[in-house]
Copies of this chain bind each other. A is one copy, B any other.
């Protein structure tokens, strides 16, 4: 399949869906770019801006002509949308998504999907802290990784198509993994960072003048505290087992430091900091 022969459809023209749309226009150039959204005003605006060729609030107008459908709605809405509109998808079409948690979605959809459709689960490590089409930005993909968790049913050529799209977007690395590894690693490397940022900001000492007392570490640690609460509540709930484990492991380290401070045990503190320094050194050298 060639992008120039394909109609691509974005379902959900928010920040993430809008970013896909702009990036697809720049780097993919399909036959047509369509969008489905519940907000007709956004679709009209996106048409006028030349971001999409056609939009509709009614999937019937769009899905039967779509060769690739990219689901950019909240994780828990994706399953319902695919289930409810299953008969409308074009035979042979590919469906992918951008959900940040994968086990629930993938397990459910694999069970119910028609045999003539191919669902390739995807997760771009890209986003910003804002909500809505007006915050769409093709640059969110650049330099970030794009995770794909293929299923046993996937055709290799379908996976390759999504990988090609991600590479054209400028993603730093396109990486295949399984849904269990994905959800467990996301809980540590992404979701835990958000829980921490929020827990820092929701402190009685927080004030807008706080940078007076920090050389940049506070701003860095709390960048993601400006969070989309609908999206992340959903994502946390769908991955609660992994996230609970990660919070527990992290809190154990915090308690270890606290105990050493209470006991004035400078040696334990030093060893803990030195371990972190050695690990970080390798990490920084590798990626910066």
Could you tell me which A residues sit within 8 Å of B by CB distance? 125-127, 129, 140, 144-145, 147, 173, 175, 182, 184-186, 188-190, 192-206, 208, 210-230, 232-233, 236-237, 240, 243-244, 246-251, 253-258, 261-262, 264, 266, 269-270, 272-277, 279-284, 286-287
- Can you spell out 19 A-B residue pairs with CB atoms less than 8 angstroms apart? A173-B212, A175-B212, A189-B212, A196-B221, A196-B254, A198-B273, A202-B279, A203-B246, A206-B279, A208-B283, A225-B276, A225-B277, A226-B277, A229-B270, A229-B273, A236-B261, A237-B261, A237-B269, A243-B261
Residues B251 and A254 in contact, CB atoms below 8 Å apart: yes
Residues A277 and B208 in contact, CB atoms below 8 Å apart: no
In the bound complex, what is the Cα–Cα distance between A197 and B222 (angstroms)? 12
Residue of B nearest to A282 (CB): B208
A258 touching B247 in the complex, CB below 8 Å, given contacts A190-B213, A197-B276, A280-B222: yes
Selected contact of A240 from candidates B182, B196, B264, CB within 8 Å: B264
A240 touching B261 in the complex, CB below 8 Å, given contacts A202-B253, A220-B223, A230-B270: yes
In the bound complex, what is the Cα–Cα distance between A276 and B197 (angstroms)? 8
Residues B214 and A280 in contact, CB atoms below 8 Å apart: no
How many copies of this chain are found per oligomer? 2
Residues A250 and B261 in contact, CB atoms below 8 Å apart: no
Residues B277 and A227 in contact, CB atoms below 8 Å apart: yes
Residues in B whose Cβ lies below 8 Å from that of A244: 258, 261-262
Residues A248 and B258 in contact, CB atoms below 8 Å apart: yes
In the bound complex, what is the Cα–Cα distance between A173 and B208 (angstroms)? 14
Query: Which 9 pairs from chain A and chain B are nearest by CB?
Result: A199-B253, A229-B273, A226-B280, A189-B213, A193-B217, A198-B276, A189-B214, A125-B215, A185-B213
Selected contact of A185 from candidates B205, B230, B254, CB within 8 Å: B205
A273 touching B213 in the complex, CB below 8 Å, given contacts A220-B221, A262-B244, A284-B226: no
A202 touching B276 in the complex, CB below 8 Å, given contacts A258-B247, A261-B243, A269-B237: yes
Residues in B whose Cβ lies below 8 Å from that of A227: 273, 276-277, 280
Residues B250 and A211 in contact, CB atoms below 8 Å apart: no
A199 touching B254 in the complex, CB below 8 Å, given contacts A226-B284, A270-B229, A281-B226: yes
Residues A225 and B189 in contact, CB atoms below 8 Å apart: no
Residues in B whose Cβ lies below 8 Å from that of A270: 229-230, 233
